[in-house]
Amino acid sequence: MEIWKMFNNSGIAFKLRFYILTGIILIFSSIMVIDYQASRKILMKTVRQNASNLALSTVNSIENVLTAAEKIPENLTPILENIHFIEAEIEQFMKPIVENNSEVFGCCIAFEPYGYYPDQLYFAPYYYKEGDSIKQKNLGNDSYQYFYHDWYQTPKSLGKPVWTEPYFDENGGGIVMATYSVPFYSGQGINRKLKGIVTVDIDLSWLETLIDSINIIENGYAILISKRGTFLTHPMDSLIMNESIFSLAEQFNRPDLRQLGKSMIGGETGFIKHKPLAGHGNDWLYYTGLPSSGWSLGIFFPEEELFADLHTLFITLMMLAIGGIILIFIVITVISKRITKPIEELAATSVKFGTGNFDIVLPPIKNNDEIGMLTNSFEMMRKELKNYMQNLEETTAAKNKIESELKIAHDIQQGIIPKIFPPFPDREDVDLFAILDPAREVGGDLYDFFFLDDNNLVFAIGDVSGKGVPASLFMAITRTLLRAKAIAGKTVSEIVSEINIELCTDNDNAMFVTFFLGIINLETGDLEFCNAGHNYPYILRKNCVIEKLHHTHGTPLGLFDTIKYKSANVRLDKSETIVLYTDGIPEAMDVKQELMGDKRFEDLLNSLCSEKSPKDVTNKLLEATRTFALGAEQSDDITILVLTYYLNKVNKNNNEKYVDIRNKVDDILKVESFIEQLCDEWGIKFGEMHKINLAMEEVISNIINYGYNDEEEHIINIKASFSKDVLKITIEDDAKAFNPLDHKDTDNMDKPIEEREIGGLGIFFIKKMMDRVEYRHESNHNILIIEKMILTPKQKK
């Protein structure tokens, strides 16, 4: 007990010594691992050296055979170049060559066509072994034109001796062999020309015996490949002369095997880890080239067998180490329990700190060691945290108040700009849509639009320097000045100049606003505009042509009060659209800090040239910008204003008029305006006009409310004609098929309302108010024709 008491009252330094002792034991185990790695490296170095010696010995054995075979044709060529032998003499020196050289299977002197006998195309006497005897035959015939084969063509083309790729010679020896070919010539200097090729064939069957004799641990093996990668020897007989290292690389999709093949046929020497085609584990491969033939020898050592003894030793040592560690761990656990108990009590108390309980009492201090000092520190921290949380609550309340005020400021700012769309539902010559998306609670972008009179529409967009509350206040001032200065009779340049003078007054903070102001005459489509340092707008012309308005008529507003702003004019044709925007779009950044840029923006506008309405264009521009910047914080306010000019949709033909409406309830007003206009022009009385309007309202309401099963926008075509006292109106739509003439007329008009059947009253009125009603369904369209007999005042006269 005294020992434990002394240990508990001791300082952290003493306890640290105890843990260092444990660390030493762990370091000892680590040294074992490091020693294992060092032993592995030494073993690998030894294996590489042994493999190198083994490979060199094997290569020398093969080279001795090949070198001896090379000397035969090389010694014959000088003699054949200087002496012309008759056939009998050729047999006298060629037959002994084959007979007296055990490594030679056959020998041939192949002359150029007509090179030996002027009247004989082929002459290639070939002497070869067959059993215990020496046979002779002439290789040349129409089915075996020897001068086109590799063993003849290659040395002829290169002008030097070469070893051919091993092959199965069906016309020579009928065995797998390799041929060493040496060219010989006649004449000297410029008169020197090829006379023929001397060859010697060696039987390669001895190679497999030689390679198999290499002693490579238990499951190691060696291979020999030709200079084209073909297997000359391999433990799998099916691969010999049938496959190459490259065909196996292609078959098993092994790029590493293809690279190995390139290194081997390139004559390189290496020692690498290699994954076999079958089985598990890895091999170590030593490979080197044969200088004379270009072949390559590879020796494979299974990794598992190489390190088997080393692995067994390591596992034994590790088991001993693990046993020691477990014993030490038990001792440390018992001791640390006593050491860490005060810390655990202190930790449990700190968890309650995390829940916000700063009135909790800390555990009593039993010892004056480092844990006692830590407990005192926790007590001081508890008091400080309690004070800090009180201050934080006050700060949070103040922050919430500021955020609430900013929310109110945001709502006020959004209330300044028009947000009801469509803004002019009773007009068919123009449509407009706009959106403002601030980067913060409040921003400095603005847009506005309003009519000066029935035909002139004012629209504007601006971007105030800076962000936040100051920019929003400057934006509100700019919008107010626009409404005050834009009055009928003033030009665009005059309005902008007057706004600029007002903004420069008492502008101590040097704030400014880029500004674009336009006034469009809706009768002609003429647009007068002024660009005060704002982004260039785009016009979406017919046939998807994008036009950029490269006009700047002065600096941004609020900088210099002496500037006189100018203006420019452009005309919009029917269904053409102008797009205004702030720099929040082209300067939008993605997560890589890359700007969207003008090029992407113009490509985006090109893709939107076929959109039906300003709302679609605006929403898709905003959606594309947000998609581009997905994951990045919005860096600037985004404002878009899109205006489409439609001209007057009513046909000016005196006898026929047209109007197209959408399947929207608001467009019923357009129908009423259309009927009033044509009745006034054709002199139809008010009473008749009222009946026509009632009938048309009933027809269009039924189509809009009950004809469509989707939320898509559809177009309803209306055509009116007046001829020979008959007003004819044709309504065509793509709603679901419905024939109102099939509906039974109501017969309960005299009954009280509560006793009448539901439905049919509207169709009943149409039939009663019109003189003729016709329906047909063609090409998935409903076509309803209503006619009214009318005698106009003009006709009465």
- Report the percentage of the chain scoring pLDDT > 90: 29
pLDDT at 454: 87
CB 424 within 8 A of CB 458: no
Q: What are phi and psi of 165, to 5 degrees?
A: -65, 130
Query: Is 183's pLDDT higher than 50?
Result: yes
- Other Cβ atoms less than 10 A from the Cβ of 175: the count is 17
- Sequence-ordered alpha helix ranges (H) in 83-182: 87-100, 150-158
Average pLDDT rounded to a whole number, residues 29-42: 71
State residue 421 phi and psi, 5-degree precision: -135, 140
Angstrom distance (rounded) from CA 353 to CA 781:
74
Split at pLDDT 50, 70, 90, the class of 380 is confident
- Classify the phi-psi angles of 267: left when phi > 0, otherwise alpha if psi is within -120 to 50, otherwise beta: left
pLDDT of residue 403: 56
Task: Summarize pLDDT for 590-639 with one digit per residue, the tens.
Answer: 999 899 999 999 999 998 887 768 999 999 999 999 999 888 888 788 99
DSSP code for 364 = P
Averaged over 671-685, what is the pLDDT?
87
pLDDT, position 757:
46
> What 3-state class would DSSP assign to 515?
strand
Residue 133 in this model has a pLDDT that exceeds 80: yes
Is the pLDDT at 115 greater than 60? The verdict is yes
Q: What is the pLDDT of residue 109?
A: 93
* Residues in a beta bridge with 580: 641
- Beta strands 445-451; 125-130: pairing state: unpaired
Residue located via tokens 């069906």: 170
Paired with 464 in beta bridges are: 513
**Tokens standing for 761?**
């009253």
Q: What percent of the chain has pLDDT over 70?
A: 82
Q: Which two tokens stand for residue 671?
A: 């129908």
Q: Region 736-743: what's the mean pLDDT?
A: 84
- pLDDT above 70: residue 2: no
Distance CA 499, CA 514 (A): 12
The closest alpha carbon to 583, from 468, 475, 463, 470, belongs to 463
pLDDT score recorded for residue 212: 79
48-58 pLDDT, tens per residue?
888 788 888 88
pLDDT at 758: 41
Question: What would the two tokens of residue 124 be?
Answer: 């290639």
Q: How far apart are CA 258 and CA 260, in angstroms?
A: 5
Dihedral, CA of residue 139, residue 143, residue 146 and residue 150, to nearest 10: -130
Cβ contacts of 227 within 8 Å, gap of 6 or more:
163, 165, 265, 293, 294, 295, 296
Of the CA atoms within 13 Å of residue 213, those in its CB half-sphere come to 9
**Are residues 575 and 643 in contact, defined by beta-carbon separation less than 8 angstroms?**
no
Three-point CA angle 497, 501, 507, nearest 5°? 140
What residue type is assigned to position 701 of the chain? S
How big, in percent rounded to 5, are the helix, strand and coil portions of the chain?
Answer: 45, 25, 35
- HSE-up (13 A, CA, CB side) for residue 111: 22
Which residues make beta-bridge pairs with 229?
none
Tens-place pLDDT, residues 215-249: 777 778 888 898 888 988 888 888 888 889 898 88
Q: Judge contact between 223 and 298, C-beta under 8 A.
A: yes
Judge whether residue 81 has pLDDT over 90. no
Residues 6+ apart with CB under 8 A from 91: 125, 127, 136
Instruction: Give me the phi and psi of 296, to 5 degrees please.
Output: -140, 140
Position 13 scores a pLDDT of 45
Q: Per-residue pLDDT tens for 557-590?
A: 999 999 999 998 988 988 899 999 999 999 999 9
pLDDT, residue 734, reads 92
Q: What is residue 484's predicted lDDT score, i.e. its pLDDT? A: 93
Q: Count the Cβ atoms, other than its own, within 10 Å of residue 404.
A: 10
Distance from C-alpha of 114 to C-alpha of 101, rounded to nearest angstrom: 31
pLDDT exceeds cutoff 50 at 368? yes
Task: Quickly state the pLDDT bin for 466 (edges 50, 70, 90).
Answer: confident
> What CA–CA distance (Å, rounded) separates 53 from 59?
10
Q: Is the dihedral of CA 615, 616, 618, 623 positive or negative?
A: positive
Residue 498's pLDDT is 95
Q: How far apart are CA 126 and CA 108, in angstroms?
A: 4
Burial degree of 757 (CB within 10 A; 0-12, 13-18, 19+): exposed
Residue 450, strand partner residues: 458
What sign for the dihedral angle of Cα 343, 348, 349, 351? Answer: positive
Residue 604: CB atoms within 10 A of its CB come to 16
Rg from Cα positions in the chain = 51
Mean pLDDT of the chain: 83
pLDDT at position 649: 42
Distance CA 745, CA 361 (A): 90
**Interval 404-437: pLDDT, tens:** 555 655 566 666 788 888 898 888 889 999 999 8
Residue with tokens 């926790």: 378
**In the structure encoding, which two tokens stand for residue 737, read together?**
């098929």
Cβ–Cβ under 8 Å, residues 579 and 618? no
Q: For the segment 527-565, what is each residue's pLDDT rounded down to a tens digit?
A: 999 999 999 999 998 778 899 998 888 899 999 999 999
C-alpha to C-alpha distance for 102 and 223, rounded to whole angstroms: 24
| Biggest alpha carbon–alpha carbon distance for the chain | 140
Mean per-residue pLDDT, 323-333: 74
Torsion (CA) 672, 674, 680, 682 in degrees, nearest 10: -130
DSSP secondary structure string, 270-337? EEEEE--SSSSS-EEEEEEE-TTT--EEEEEEEHHHHTHHHHHHHHHHHHHHHHHHHHHHHHHHHHHH
Copy the structure tokens of residue 269.
Answer: 């020497």
What is the distance between the alpha carbons of residues 287 and 268, in angstroms, rounded to a whole number? 8
